Amino acid sequence: MAVRVRFAPSPTGRLHVGNVYIALANWLFARKERGAFVLRFDDTDRERSTAEFAAGIEADLRWLGLVWDESARQSERDALYAAAVETLKANKRLYPCYETPEELDLKRKSQQQRHLPPVYDRAALALTEADRRRLEAEGRRPHWRFLLHREDVRWHDLARGPQHIDEASQSDPVLVRADGRYLYTLPSVVDDIDLRITHVIRGNDHVTNTAAQIQLFQALGAMPPGFAHLPLLTDAKGEGLSKRLGSLSIAELRESGIEAMAVSSYLARLGTADPIEPKHDLDALATRPAGEWAQLFESRYRRGPWPYGSGVWGKKEWIAPGIRDEHVVSMDEGGTSLLPAPRLGAAIGAGELWIKQCGNSHTGSFKDLGMTVLVSAVKQMIADGSGVRAVGCASTGDTSAALAAYAAAAGIPAIVVLPRGKITPAQLVQPLASGATVLAVDTDFDGCMRVIERLSIDEGVYLANSINSLRLEGQKTVAIEIAQQLGWDPPDVVVVPGGNLGNVSALFAGFDMMRTLGVTTRVPRLVVAQAEAANPLYLASRNGWLYEPVTARSTFASAIRIGSPVSVRRAIRALRACDGLVEQATEHELSDAAALADKEGFFTCPQTGVALAAAVKLARRGVIGHGQRVVVLSTASGLKFADFKLASAENMPIELPGDYDAVRRALDGALACRV
């Protein structure tokens, strides 16, 4: 049976984000299942329902792109409801009741005083025909209740799992008022039957009436649909949203300049760990031939008018086309060397090995690539009237250096939260020198992340960690640049150190975008390398990709000492899409690999040592073939890790007296050792 869902607003006000959250869930489910999305106006409240509100709801849905396949209005369907009433009467499932509201209120109070549940006592069922005629002669008009079977009703809720309600604890619901108007339950069920709705997806405020509705479906001879009850959205005070009060109305959001896709993306990810991700109009980009894109990028690379000589902004159309040039904050990032390492490749058995020197950047790490995009976006937001007070990040070093430098260039205050005593002095001095407010907190990186996330919610601090997808838009240029430097022929394997794990999803996005637009023909196999002391993704890869955070231990690779990476789910999706791998390295293995690279002149950081060690292990196991082209990402400058380099150095200064013969003898000995 084809899936059919419905969104059923009452046109008594404009839509707010809580309504749209439900509409979006229905629309996405219908599109995923290639089904139908029905817009049904529950406009039986004739006093408060207006055509203007209905038109406004339609306009809001169209703006959001939630176009419906069919529509219906309850005000035009009275004949269906009247027929259903007669069916229920004939089957003795609908009975007249004559109590006034005051009498019902007295019954409830009496039950409460006796500590009984306020359940209707079904006194009306004891009335004789003569009793009913007498009450009607007195001017009373009956309201009509649905006779529930007092049984335990069970269903499997698609959102909440197994559910049950004992209908003995519920009052028989009123379906028809004394004035003949229908209450919500009857028209809703009748419409769901007539419109062939297969799934009812709505707020969890309807859970308690679901059991009665299931019985009503059955009483009318219909199979109940599937149900999914989602959490209700609240405001900052925890109070429910109201369309009549204008709470976070879609009209207000549209008029304030917020994009429809931003609203939909945010709402679609509520309740998940997934951040909002920018989506490019690939159809529009594909109107330019692939060869022209490659030619354009070549023409700008390391030259061209400012800021298009940047390795990031030279690819602006693929990265952040909405940033106006006057707000671009660039330090001429990107354009870093991709160096062949033939002797190192031969030594580790990796065949054709290249090292991408991302650390040869303004602040000494690849984080500049993402920070230029994020800070440029924040600068434009502030110019356009945003209430951003500062930009902030949690960091183990490199992110803080990049954020502080770019924020300083933009004239925006920067807040950095660091784990006290767990980063190198060279990393600490960079944000301090750039004027950032540095908070050294007695916790690990994951604790710092919790602090900055709270500041971003409560204090107007714009979050700059890699959970923010603007960062990843800049970082994906590494993939594009690697392909460009290899003549638009991507490598077979790319090995990248993994900490917070934004880099692997960024790399995949870049390679996949090139393939989609025809600039290249394939996506490399991506390998994430983690330190054994901080290896949650490695453990997940060994357990069917079931992720659990870990407590990160001390490691030389301090920049990736992260036990609860915020981008883990994106990383897993990327790895699964390219048949990717995860490998780990012990402290001994990463030190040996870094020392081996140093002897080839690379002066690598310990994180690069982790990636090289992973490449060594994979090559020895034959996972990386001898004939494959392998690129290892060096993510930061070794100059930031002088203590590590000294601790692992095999070559130390030879201290000599001040005479030439001593120097000559030392030189002869040193050169003899190299023969």
Contacts of residue 419, defined as CB under 8 A and 6 or more positions apart, other chains included, come to 396, 440, 441, 443, 444, 445, 447, 448
- Strand, helix or coil for residue 518: coil
Is the Cβ–Cβ distance between 432 and 438 less than 8 Å?
A: yes
Give me the helix-helix angle, 17-32 and 260-268, nearest 10°: 80
Task: Round to whole Å and give the CA distance between 431 and 32.
Answer: 46
Residue 121's nearest CA partner among 143, 93, 101, 99 is 99
Buried/exposed code over 85-101 (b: 16+ C-beta within 10 A; e: otherwise)? beebeeeebbbbbbbee
Tell me the helices (H) and strands (E) count for the chain, helix number first: 26, 20
Is the Cβ–Cβ distance between 189 and 220 less than 8 Å?
A: yes
Task: Round to whole Å and give the CA distance between 550 and 537.
Answer: 10
3-state SS track over 146-199: ECCCCCEEEEEECCCEEEEEEHHHCCCCEEECCCCCECCHHHHHHHHHHCCCCE
What are the angstrom distances between the C-alpha of 517 and each of 38, 157, 265, 285, 512?
35, 41, 23, 8, 9
Cβ count near 326 (within 10 Å): 9
Task: Round to whole Å and give the CA distance between 423 and 448.
Answer: 13
Pairing type for strands 199-203 and 226-230 reads parallel
> Known catalytic residues?
243
